[in-house]
Structure 1
Amino acid sequence: MRIGKLFDSLRGKNKHTMSEQNINEEIQDQNINPEVQNEETTATEEVVEQKSEVEVLKEELQKEKEQYLRLFAEFDNFKKRTSRERIDIFKTANKEVITALLPVIDDFERAMPQITKSEDTALVTGVELIQNKLVETLRGKGLIAMEVKAGDDFNTDLHEAITQIPAPSEDLKGKVVDCVETGYMLQDVVIRYAKVVVGM
């Protein structure tokens, strides 16, 4: 209706100068299509939505990256920890068996002074060979005997004081006077403390 009125006014105003084609073009210029406006608005909204979706995706990607880095660090720590534990297990795998054999070594140490008094040299040599073989076999598995002698400082990390006696001299006060039972270490771990007498 509006287009018809506009068409009539333009036709009446400039009958001689404007052709019908020009009038139609004028009408089209004057009357903007609302569908075009809606399409432009929709396109703008879609661009805004796309931008916001991109931002959301970027945030999600950043979160995933952070989570991946945390998981990677945790897994790396887990690998290192299990590797250390495995090495420790290998080091002390024979701990129970070796600990059970320590009294046998003690018996050899107590018996040897009496056996060496025997006139049977073959017996003495045979027992010494057995003792040495046992000690060397256990040493090959990582067993280390602690060397404790009179005058050493008393060390609670290595020694166990079974008694205290008056020090024979001033320089032995608070120090080891005698070692009653040999202590042993398996690799770097103490499996039996050296039993010592401490001067006071």
Structure 2
Amino acid sequence: MNKENIDEKELKDTQQSTESDDNAAEMGDTPDNLDEIKEGVESKSEQNDQAEASETEKKLLRLEDELAESKDKYLRLYSEFENFRRRTAKEKLEMVQTANEDLMQALIPIIDDFERAEKSFEDEKTDLEAAKEGVQLIYNKFKKVLEQKGLKAMEGKEGMDFDPEFHEAITQIPAPKKNLKGKVVDVVEKGYMLKEKVIRYAKVVIGN
């Protein structure tokens, strides 16, 4: 074997040895890289879990705050409603108890007039005609007060059509005239209305 062949062989052996060392080095580094990658993945996963847990906790705290706020609003509204209900009930009771207060105040002066008239009748020197005139004035005053409060007498006269919405037939008699058959012959007692409501039906006699 000549010198050139020996040099080529040594060169090949050297290259093979170098490649073997490089491969061995690469194979030796692989386990260390896998551990680092694994640790990195685990660390990132833990960070993600912590971030998700933190976000969930924030949402939970926000929901708790909203629930507390809603509960507070509900309690305030309930308290206001209870106060309104009690106040309304009290006002309604007072209204029922004093419903006729205005009417009573309007009637008191008329009572005073009647008392003065009564005293005047005790005096033998009282002019009877003047006393009658005084009573008529009191009556007119009394009637005016009632009308101002919405009371009005129903119109009732002979020959009217009988209307069950306003009349109460207390009896029937033979009609004195043919044109009075089924009509009102006589009004025994006036009917009255308060505003537009009938509070007393007129008692009438009907011809048959």
Q: Which has the higher contact order (CA 8 A, sep 6+)?
A: 1
TM-score, structure 2 as length reference: 0.46
Larger C-alpha radius of gyration, 1 or 2? 2
TM-score, structure 1 as length reference: 0.47
Structure with the higher fraction of residues in helix conformation: 2
